[in-house]
Amino acid sequence: MSETLEKPLTASFETFLGYQLRRLSAAAMADLADALAEEGLSPTLATVLLIIETNPGETQARIGRALSIKRANIAPMIAKLEEEGLIRKSGTDGRSFALYCTAKGTATARRAEKVMRARERKVFGALSSEETKLFLSMIERARSAL
Amino acid sequence: MSETLEKPLTASFETFLGYQLRRLSAAAMADLADALAEEGLSPTLATVLLIIETNPGETQARIGRALSIKRANIAPMIAKLEEEGLIRKSGTDGRSFALYCTAKGTATARRAEKVMRARERKVFGALSSEETKLFLSMIERARSAL
DNA sequence: TATTGTTATACTCTATAACTATA
DNA sequence: TATAGTTATAGAGTATAACAATA
């Protein structure tokens, strides 16, 4: 255990918000994925389930647009949530379905939301509410520049 | 073009920094990937090339640790950069290699760095230097909570 | 014509496990 | 024993293209 401290490597992108953001986002995602594994959900699947629970009767096209998930990619997610008995489709339109959580899906969504909230507190709990507000406003400004 | 405004869907995670961060990071990544495509590099490959250019003679294990890329994942990246004539390996240790940019690799790294800097300005240029500093400090605090 | 859902396919990034060679 | 590099493999997540059915 000589524990030689490793000389840190330098790089210009270390000072880039884009890079640091990406690193933090990846680490937080992995942490959340671990925590959600006990519910059998990935972070993305959890957001899909939660938004259906909060907005019953919406179509998967609208849900996809709200989460920036393409139709082609959300189709198998919806199929998986249905297979697992978490949501059900109720044909209304002939070419689309109204989506609803089952009782099991609602219970899972509530637990997943608790997990997400707990991780949010764990990672960002040290920030003041002032800082949190500023953080969100900066994210919003950055997104509007894209 | 009746442009009916789509009713926004609600979800508790919309107020989570973790979620907004992920969305911003994904969008910024896609934007950067587009811009780097003309150099034939992905964002991750660009960071690997750049860190080799700034730290000549390092091994891929140390580079991987600096970027949080696993040995198993960085091996094919190094191989690709070498195939394209951007870096070269110089055996030193018997079980590892010192990595160096070729002239072509250095030129590509410089251009890639310009592209990254331009995108950084585009996305985060509206933030004041005070805000940028605070943003970085918040990211650092969040990362230390993981 | 435009939209919805679907399938096929490919790419990027990440993760684990197992192997060889060397320190 | 620990480390470096490599290969195989799997899993998320995302992207485009094409298709049938419906609006």
Distance CA B64, CA A111 (A): 36
Task: Give DSSP secondary structure letters for B42-109.
Answer: -HHHHHHHHHHHHSTT--HHHHHHHHT--HHHHHHHHHHHHHTTSEEEEE-SSS-EEEEE-HHHHHHH
DSSP 3-state of A101: strand
Residue B40 has pLDDT above 50, yes or no: yes
B130 in contact with A, Cβ within 8 Å: no
Residue A66 has pLDDT above 70, yes or no: yes
Q: Is the CB of B93 under 7 A from strand C?
A: yes
Window from A74-88, B5-19, B28-42 with minimum mean pLDDT? B5-19
Residues in chain A: 146
pTM: 0.93
Measured CA A73 to C1' C8 distance, in angstroms: 12
pLDDT tens-digit readout, B75-117 = 999 999 999 999 999 988 889 999 999 999 999 999 999 999 9
| Residue B7 confidence class, pLDDT cut points 50, 70, 90 | confident
B125 DSSP 8-state letter:
T
pLDDT tens-digit readout, A108-117 = 999 999 999 9
Alpha carbon of B47: minimum distance to chain A alpha carbons (Å): 8
Alpha carbon of A27: minimum distance to chain B alpha carbons (Å): 7
Distance CA B121, CA A72 (A): 33
Contact B99, B63 (CB under 8 A): yes
pLDDT for A1: 41
pLDDT for A5: 64
pLDDT for B59: 96
| Residue B8 confidence class, pLDDT cut points 50, 70, 90 | confident
